[in-house]
Amino acid sequence: MVTLTINGKKVKAKENTPLLEITRKMSIPIPTLCYHPDLSPHGSCRLCTVEISRNGKTRMVTACNYPAQDGIKVETHSKRVLHTRRVLVELLLARCPNAPFLRNLAKEVGVKTSPFSAKTPENDCILCGLCVRTCNELVGANAIGFSMRGTRKKISTPFEIVSERCVACGACEYICPTEAIKMEMDRVRKMRTSETGTLRTCRYMRMGLVDFMICSNGFECWRCEVDQMMEDRFGTHPIFALKPAKQKESFLMNGFTFHPELYYSEGHTWCKPMGESIKVGLDEMASLLTLKAETLNLPPVGTPLKKNEVLAEISSSGKKAKIFSPLSGIVSAINHEVVENPALVWRDPYRRGWLILLKPDHPEEISKLLSGAKAKEWYSKQTLNLLNHLVKWASNPSPKGDHSENSSLREIPRGKWEKLERILLKH
Ligand code: FES
């Protein structure tokens, strides 16, 4: 965690959190154009400009992609910031004088007319790139991008020819703040006569959100009940409603399940916040230790645990493995099922195989554990290393190819349990 000052108020935040995320939590209104919480920050419109100072030096940065750092002072509405935002809006207004969204924004920041003028007021595109990032990052189609340079820069399909990658999902049209992108229904309808002749597949299917669905509405989504239901329920385009949920789904890495929403420790435990408590378990790699374990001992409820104190002891054929607590706190519950049947941890490490509930002494310490991209990188390295050992130990590994799917590798041979314990727990 780092401490920074925003508009004179000291705040604590996770290091490198974009300033905009922090200011939004503090309900400080900062206008944005090219920012969307489900997309990577682009920093192109610069409307979210704020002033930061450190060691007496001041500079303007974009809040949507500037990382929180210890000791910086941030001013979100200083004179200089407000002036910069007004000039930016004036420039945008000169480029697209007819875009209603920009006109409203201009009113908000106190701009009546623009002193600038463009030689050829273009279409309504302000080059915020939201459509490009939506198509690339969420839909995964990569059908559009930036082309040309300087004043001729624009959004188009590669080589400005009809893109075969476009699935006509309408996400670019939906996200465009200035309504510069319009779906051309004639082209969309042509999808009915695709080469394969499978015809009329729904946009949910084309986006990979459902396995199979036929469009019975001639691609007129506004007549579609499913579409209406989705919009009523989530108030957004389906790709924005469903993709973030999909991104939280678990997936396999070198044959081991990774849960993106969990916090991981290098001691091979995972943590999941559950209200005031934190659920702690063993990750799938360490769960291998429990497959042939005779006992799994957990501390009694009420035990105060310090970080790195023994949280669980697993024994197998007279050998013992110690699992250390990733956080300090009081044990508020233990999973009796895994005490009676340790192999349950191996069978279902992230759900029924949890170990304890911990009431943490310092809840914020969970943010020091591995999460997000760092956790993914760590998990990937660890699983690859483990997989290499498992392949070496296997009596009959498949000669070539992807070993990660080979479930027989999970059978730890006699005599290797201790070695496995050393690899994972690094004693
Ligand atoms: Fe930050 Fe556009 S919203 S640069």
Token pair in block for residue 280? 């702690």
Q: Find the 47 Cα to ligand 1 centroid distance in Å.
A: 5
Residue 44 CA: which ligand 1 atom is closest? Answer: 4
According to DSSP, the residues that pair with 330 across neighbouring strands are 304, 359
What does the alpha-carbon distance between residue 127 and residue 366 come to, in Å, rounded to a whole number? 39
Within the chain, all domains assigned CATH 3.10.20.740 are found at 2-77
- Find tokens 């919009």 and name the residue: 231
Cβ-based neighbour number of residue 394 at 10 Å = 17
- The 3-state DSSP class for residue 424 equals helix
To the question of pTM greater than 0.85 for the whole model, the response is no
Rounded CA separation 325/312 (Å): 8
Q: Ligand 1 pocket test: pick from 30, 33, 109 the residue with the most ligand atoms within 8 Å of its Cβ.
A: 33
Sign of CA dihedral 350, 351, 354, 360: positive
Q: Which CATH number fits domain 267-363: 3.30.70.2740, 3.40.50.2300, 2.40.50.100, 2.40.30.10?
A: 2.40.50.100
Alpha carbons 350 and 248: distance in angstroms, whole number: 14
Q: Which atom of ligand 1 is nearest to the CA of 42?
A: 4
Distance from residue 86's CA to the centre of ligand 1 (Å): 14
d(CA 15, CA 93): 36
CA 129 – ligand 1 centroid, Å: 10
- CB-count exposure of residue 33 (10 Å: 0-12, 13-18, 19+): buried
Probe target for ligand 1 pocket from 34, 61, 85, with the most ligand atoms within 8 Å of CB: 34
Q: How far is CA 144 from CA 136, 155, 161, 236, in A?
A: 8, 7, 10, 21
pLDDT in tens, the chain (427 residues): 899 999 999 999 988 899 999 999 999 999 999 999 888 888 889 999 999 999 889 999 999 999 999 999 999 999 999 999 999 999 988 888 888 888 888 988 888 888 887 766 667 888 999 999 999 888 878 889 998 887 778 888 888 777 777 877 888 999 998 888 887 777 766 665 555 445 567 777 777 777 777 777 777 777 888 888 877 887 888 888 776 666 677 888 888 999 988 999 999 999 999 888 999 999 999 999 998 899 999 999 999 999 999 999 999 888 899 999 999 999 999 999 999 999 999 999 999 999 999 999 998 889 889 998 899 999 999 999 998 888 888 765 554 455 455 556 667 777 788 888 888 887 5
Q: Are 42 and 27 in contact (CB under 8 A)?
A: no
CA 34 to centroid of ligand 1, rounded, Å: 5
Backbone torsions φ then ψ of 199, nearest 5 degrees: 55, 150
Centre of ligand 1 from the C-alpha of residue 63, in Å: 7
Residues with CB under 6 A from ligand 1: 32-35, 43-48, 62, 64
Cα(176) to centroid(ligand 1), Å: 14
Atom from ligand 1 closest to the CA of residue 128: 2
Ligand 1 atom closest to the CA of 20, numbered from 1: 1
Cα-to-centroid distance, 231 and ligand 1 (Å):
26
Strand partners, 289: none
Position 196 scores a pLDDT of 44
Closest atom of ligand 1 relative to the 45 alpha carbon: 2
Residue 345, classed as helix, strand or coil, is helix
User: Could you tell me where in the chain the CATH 2.40.50.100 domains are found?
Assistant: 267-363
- 2-77: what CATH class? alpha beta
Q: Which atom of ligand 1 is nearest to the CA of 65?
A: 1
Considering only CA atoms, which of 301, 294, 291 is closest in space to residue 335? Answer: 301
Strand 304-305 with 319-324, pairing: unpaired
What is the 291 CA–ligand 1 centroid distance (Å)?
51
Query: CA–CA separation, 356 vs 304, rounded Å?
Result: 12
